[in-house]
Copies of this chain bind each other. A is one copy, B any other.
């Protein structure tokens, strides 16, 4: 008898009709003999409604109070799904984060799951009940409700699947699965039957929104097979699996796009040992993530230094860059928010030289200028003008033969 964790997101339980649909799907699996733990999110819109309420009292509400408040969203979903499953004739047992044994650290709003003690959930499954678990939440060492932030309920689901040693974790969402590119940009984007953890993490990190890299990382760490599929139809979705579980793949698996970064350029940085290190040391100290960095060839003992940061950090990054520019006697500092990063990801790159080269050629042929370049073992990212970004995605999608029927 296999044990499976299902996870349903906010749009899948947005209203009573959809909750009933989820209940029917879970009931069908349970009646087919599977042991099912369901991890569930707040109904879509509910978390925003609660955050809105909190902002009536404070612009920067206390993180402990916020956790207590937003945790009611998942709690209500759990109760309603339990009622819907009972109406389908199933026995259920409900679990809030603390009841399901989600022990976190005390970082409210972005707590880390330290440990899961899944005994109560396991006993419930063994007794033939459907276990319904509130995602996104846990309890801190001092007994306070926490929420786990980034990756949210997906991460809860994978963590629970790992703790239960479940056969797989199925993430039900509002799209069919993982595609070779965002189908709103590439209408011929193809559904991937299978993708490796590594590729999925790179895609998630570079703009693919279906899964958060945190949850994929956790799945990889504990070898939990993940399935991403639609809660609205019967499609098989995409399996996210270890590398060995995958047959020979193509060189490039998918293309992602993010417009979440901005570019900062410091002109005429003196070409002295340690200057660049000093600048980035200050930015790192401020907790700002720098992604791509380029420095052009030195002329007259000076070079231009350009880097990207999350758009939300641009103002702080600019202040720091200006400070540093004065200290090291550099020129003026410029910022640009009208950029986009396009990333090409594929495990096959490791064995195939020339992916970057083919990328540059294809974009040049379309007259798209590349502003910055960054690479990892299985990824090439480029920064282009935001106005050319979607066209760049389509050009590369074609160039690497990603469209067409699922293979």
Contacts and interface: CB of A to CB of B under 8 A. Distances in A.
A311 interface: no
Contacts of A87: 57-58
Contacts of A53: 16, 76, 80
17 contacts: A16-B53, A19-B57, A50-B76, A53-B76, A53-B80, A54-B80, A56-B80, A57-B80, A62-B82, A62-B83, A64-B94, A65-B80, A68-B82, A68-B96, A69-B75, A69-B76, A72-B76
Contacts of A144: 94, 99
Interface string A74-103: 011011101110110000101010010000
Given A16-B57, A96-B145, A143-B120, A75 B79 contact: no
A13 to B, nearest CB: 12
A69 B79 contact: yes
A92 B71 CA distance: 18
B94 A79 contact: no
A39 to B, nearest CB: 16
A66 interface: yes
Nearest to A16: B56
Contact of A69 (B62, B69, B80): B80
Contacts of A312: none
A57 B94 CA distance: 16
A348 to B, nearest CB: 48
Listed from nearest, the 7 A-B pairs whose CB atoms lie closest are A69-B79, A57-B83, A72-B72, A68-B79, A16-B56, A65-B82, A65-B79
Copies of this protein chain in the complex: 2
Given A72-B75, A75-B71, A143-B120, A65 B83 contact: yes
Contacts of A61: 83
Interface string A205-235: 0000000000000000000000000000000
A20 interface: yes
Contacts of A62: 82-83, 86
Nearest to A62: B86
Of the candidates A69, A75, A120, the one having the most CB atoms from chain B within 10 angstroms of its own CB is: A69
Nearest to A99: B143
A159 to B, nearest CB: 20
A7 to B, nearest CB: 19
Given A96-B145, A99-B143, A143-B99, A79 B58 contact: no
Contacts of A145: 96
Contact of A83 (B20, B54, B75, B120): B54
Interface in A40-60: 50, 53-54, 56-58
Interface string A1-35: 00000000000000010011000000000000000
Of the candidates A58, A79, A99, A120, the one having the most CB atoms from chain B within 10 angstroms of its own CB is: A79
Nearest to A50: B76
A82 B50 CA distance: 14
Contacts of A79: 54, 65-66, 68-69, 72
Contacts of A78: 68
A38 B220 CA distance: 46
